[in-house]
Chain A
Amino acid sequence: MTVTEKDDHNLKQNKEKKSEHGLQFSRGNQVKWLSFPYLIWMIGFILIPLIMIVYYGLTNGENSFTTANISIIADPINRDALLLALELSIVSTIICLILAYPLAIILNNTKLKSNSFIVLIIILPMWMNFLLRTIAWQNILERTGVLNTILEFLHLPTLNIINTPAAIVLGMVYNFLPFMVLPIYNVLIKIDKDVVNAARDLGANTGQTFRKIILPLSLPGVVSGITMVFVPSLTTFVISTILGGSKIVLIGNVIEQQFRLGNWNTGSGLSLVLMVFILFSMAVISKYDKEGEGSNVW
């Protein structure tokens, strides 16, 4: 059946259903066909392309099966790049969480209850190009940069963190902090104030209320935040290129280089290795996102 035939068929079915059940919007069948263009789009541009990576990753140039593209991860250079990427992305995720949680709580407690305004302030920096913002950090962190000028002025010891892993972590925290703040904030504003007040009435102090009520209820937001920061940090090649100099290589740089050199099979194989970590985070998120809403993310 072609798409239009399918649509016609469904429309007919829907018309029959309508006469049986009367008109419904929320549970009606008549609007389901609206998802077909989307479904076809996502199969064509998300699912099939992912299968292509699996195919390229598991074959060599002559279309025969091989696991060489996967096992190349054991090569010391690639292995170190993966381990360093894991280390830096875990550190950045933890820092983001430590910075974002108090911020989300403060934002939630402000009298200024204009929800969209707070979200805008956090998203607004994205209107300055992501690469440029990262380049600006070069200016701040450089040996004679803004930060060191200020430190010298205050007669404090200068820092030398450009082209070190610390600069990359800073770049990751800077770029992905909004992705930690927003999901946590979105969960916090939904917590029923009566539940918090009830806990206080029953004699819980601030610490107990936080531990027993707010923290458990905010966990889905924390989990989305962790995924939203961990995955892009683990896979970045831009931040390490700009702030890490040429000596620090992350797994993202290795993959990008393989594709630049035309080694698509090797690049795909290494991407498959990365996808194991991504799938793991997705599994964790879906465990906490029981409703299947995904709305915690934004």
Chain B
Amino acid sequence: MVKKFFSRCYIGIILLFLYAPIAILIVLSFNASKSRAKWGGFTLKWYQELFHNEDIMAALSTTLIIAITSALIATLLGTAAAIAMNSMKKTPRTILLAITNIPMLNADIVTGISLMLIFVALNFTLGFTSVLLAHITFNIPYVILSVMPKLKQLNAHTFEAAQDLGASPVYAFFKVILPDIFPGVLSGFFLAFTMSLDDFVITHFTKGPEINTLSTKIYTEVRKGIKPEIYALSTLMFVTVLLLLIFINRRKADKNTLIRKV
């Protein structure tokens, strides 16, 4: 029991460490004082002003469009690649996985710089498209690494059985393989979306002067002080995700109890 108590305490301390800054940011979003350093009373002013701040709204929409598009394209390319890699012999598979690991293990700053150099060498204007291409590039590995384990667990005979029963390979894929690996595909998509949303360094080097994502917008404000509207926006985003996750977990739990009852 003593051991259990210590375990609980330890988890508590780590969670406090991980979530304390988030609590601070949420508190700051209700702070009437414009300065980060002092508390000026409770207000909802920043939440109202947020929606009238065109700069922040533009950055938000750029961020979301890039995150969704890059996650979608990366999921398509990554899932296809994972299926192909799963059917390869050991040597080509190892080579492809090594390439997959490069952007995951390489430093963001090096990936960002290298992408900037190739865009400039190709006379490609840095802007929305270059950021999108960069995000797809660093997102694909997350999808592959999420889908691969699901493919390994797959029973190959079900695919053959479906075809023996007259299904075309494509039809059999959508009816037999895809449902089995779908959880992996989905978690790959969400991981890619999250990574894209949270990225700063690679965006910083590939964005050019014309556009801003939320991250790069925040970085330009680090020295002169963050606008309180940004705290309000991040609080809204965080709470949305939190509620979404609680909702999904509840539904999962409901499903489980339902299955047990049946």
* A residues whose Cβ falls under 8 Å from a Cβ of B: 23-35, 37-39, 41-42, 44-50, 52-53, 56, 99, 102-103, 106-107, 109-110, 114, 116-117, 120-140, 142, 144, 146, 174, 177-178, 227-228, 231-232, 234-238, 241-242, 252, 255-256, 259, 264, 267-268, 271, 274-275, 278, 281-282, 285-286, 292-295, 297-298
Contacts and interface: CB of A to CB of B under 8 A. Distances in A.
Interface in B151-207: 154, 156, 159-160, 163, 169, 177, 187, 191, 194, 197-198, 200-201, 205
A27 B87 contact: yes
Given A127-B238, A139-B36, A292-B93, A30 B105 contact: no
A28 B172 CA distance: 15
Contacts of B187: 116
Contacts of B134: 45
B58 interface: no
A132 B24 CA distance: 10
Contact of A127 (B105, B146, B194, B230): B194
A33 B84 contact: yes
B94 to A, nearest CB: 4
Contacts of A107: 11
A56 B117 contact: yes
B109 interface: yes
B107 to A, nearest CB: 4
Contacts of A110: 7
B148 A123 contact: no
Given A25-B87, A294-B100, A123 B194 contact: yes
A58 to B, nearest CB: 13
B69 interface: no
A259 B137 contact: no
A132 B105 contact: no
Contact of A140 (B24, B110, B169, B226): B24
A125 B140 contact: no
Interface in B106-131: 106-111, 113-118, 121
A250 B139 CA distance: 27
Contacts of B84: 31-35, 38
A245 to B, nearest CB: 11
Nearest to A119: B187
Nearest to A30: B169
Given A34-B84, A35-B96, A127-B238, A267 B113 contact: yes
* Residue in A28, A127, A238 with the greatest tally of chain B CB atoms within 10 Å: A127
Given A35-B81, A124-B241, A274-B109, 16 more contacts: A25-B154, A25-B156, A32-B88, A45-B133, A46-B137, A50-B114, A133-B22, A135-B36, A136-B22, A139-B36, A142-B37, A235-B107, A238-B200, A255-B109, A298-B145, A298-B191
A130 B215 contact: yes
Contacts of A35: 80-81, 84-85, 88, 96
Given A45-B137, A123-B194, A298-B146, A99 B14 contact: yes
Most A CB contacts (10 A, CB to CB) among B7, B142, B148, B226 go to B7
B234 interface: yes
A237 B231 CA distance: 22
Contact of B142 (A24, A231, A255, A298): A298
A207 to B, nearest CB: 14
Contacts of B231: 132
Contacts of B94: 292
A41 B137 CA distance: 8
B43 interface: no
B81 A34 contact: yes
Contacts of A136: 20-22, 24-25, 28
B190 to A, nearest CB: 9
Given A41-B140, A274-B110, A295-B149, A34 B222 contact: no
Contacts of A121: 15
B98 interface: yes
B86 A295 contact: no
Max chain A C-beta neighbours (<10 A), residue from B106, B107, B134: B107
